[in-house]
Amino acid sequence: MNRRKICVIGAGVIGLSSAVRIQDKIPGIDITIIADTFSPHTTSDGSAGFWEPHLVNPDQSEEIRKWGQATFDYLLDLVQSPEAGKLGAQLVSGYDFSIEHDDQDPFWKDQVIAYRRLEQKERKLHPKNKGGIFYTSLVIDVKSYLPWLMEKFKSRGGKVQFGTISSVNEISDKFDLIINCVGVRAFQLLNDQDVKPIRGQIIRVSAPWIKHFYVDFDRAEGTERYILPGRDYVILGGTGQEGNWSTDINQQDKDKIWESCVNLVPSLKNAQKISDWVGLRPGRTKVRLEIEENRRSSGCMVIHNYGHSGAGVTLHWGCAGNVAELAHAVLTTLSSRL
């Protein structure tokens, strides 16, 4: 099996974690990552690294729960490890004002720690919100985490190649198995019409006094605002503009984010602004994690792992484990044909 060659397309959190988990499952495998963008310039680098199943399809909740739980458990192990400081991995508690009524609990409520409804005193802090929840989740500094994953990948003999892939067929004669982790680029690469960019714009600020997260998504109006503290800065967001391909900083969006977050937490008014960032979340009707069936008769198999919308970090390790299982099964089948 180790004589087989695997290629992972994409070097964001989905691609890197898939590559590392394949190495875990198949030690010594010949595996190459090909990408045209690497950390610190990937979409993943702009992520707040906060665990919450954001912008996912509730119809896929069973799979989301499975992938999310595996990722939560893995991140919790990192939080408790000596690597935590290096990776900015930590527990973080806070408020989600998106849930307006007491009978509407998110499907992931049992996966976070100490989930509860807001008490009356807490509601008075933000009287415009009808209700909400409080819980403890996890956060990891993705700008530190991606290089850490890459170092682990290379230390096990993994190879890295810079390049732009316009079609899977370009490299199908060089590998036995391709893992497609291209995110929003699946729209062009595969002509997947279910893929749509969900444009996210954020502001990074220095506000070390912010210890809790604050989330407020209005799903009816399609608006979102969030304040997410990390190791080195606090992220203020955001936008969720489906179908918008622009990666330019929009001043109107920036002003709206700032005003909205300061209204929610007034102590942010004098926070020092560090930087702005825009990225395109890979929106899709459902996460696509599967073997491409119509390639079974060809010389090269393809496993797709993309379309995680706003939950790439939340689902990455669980999805990567699923990919590793599929990769092992595919290579076992190929080896049995010899």
Interval 54-79 mean pLDDT = 95
- Tell me if 43 is assigned to a ligand binding site: yes
Please name the helix (run of DSSP H) or strand (run of DSSP E) that holds residue 95, with its range, or none. strand 90-96
- Tell me if 44 is assigned to a ligand binding site: yes
- 304: β partners: 180, 290
- pLDDT band at residue 191, thresholds of 50, 70 and 90? very high
- Tell me if 310 is assigned to a ligand binding site: yes
- Report the alpha-carbon distance of residue 64 to residue 58 in Å, rounded: 8
Indicate the residue type of 160: V
Please answer whether residues 271 and 306 qualify as being in contact, where contact means their C-beta atoms are separated by less than 8 angstroms.
no
Please give the model's pTM, rounded to 2 decimal places: 0.94
Q: Where are the alpha helices (DSSP H) in the chain?
A: 13-25, 61-79, 84-87, 120-125, 142-155, 186-189, 251-264, 312-336
pLDDT in tens, 77-122: 999 999 999 999 999 999 998 766 556 789 999 999 999 999 888 8
Domain 5-336: give its CATH architecture: 3-Layer(aba) Sandwich (3.40)
State the maximum Cα–Cα separation within the chain, in Å, rounded to a whole number. 69
For residue 126, the model assigns a pLDDT of: 78
Please answer whether residues 326 and 320 qualify as being in contact, where contact means their C-beta atoms are separated by less than 8 angstroms.
no
- Report the alpha-carbon distance of residue 199 to residue 208 in Å, rounded: 27
- Report the alpha-carbon distance of residue 32 to residue 34 in Å, rounded: 6
- Report the alpha-carbon distance of residue 44 to residue 325 in Å, rounded: 24
Q: State CA 88 to chain mean position distance.
A: 16
pLDDT in tens, 209-268: 999 999 987 665 657 899 999 999 999 999 999 999 999 999 999 999 999 999 999 999
Indicate the residue type of 215: V
- Report the alpha-carbon distance of residue 105 to residue 1 in Å, rounded: 46
- Tell me if 88 is assigned to a ligand binding site: no
- Report the alpha-carbon distance of residue 324 to residue 239 in Å, rounded: 33
Encoding tokens for residue 40?
Answer: 């610190």
* Structural domain boundaries in the chain: 5-336
- 93: β partners: 136
- pLDDT band at residue 336, thresholds of 50, 70 and 90? confident
- Report the alpha-carbon distance of residue 134 to residue 148 in Å, rounded: 31
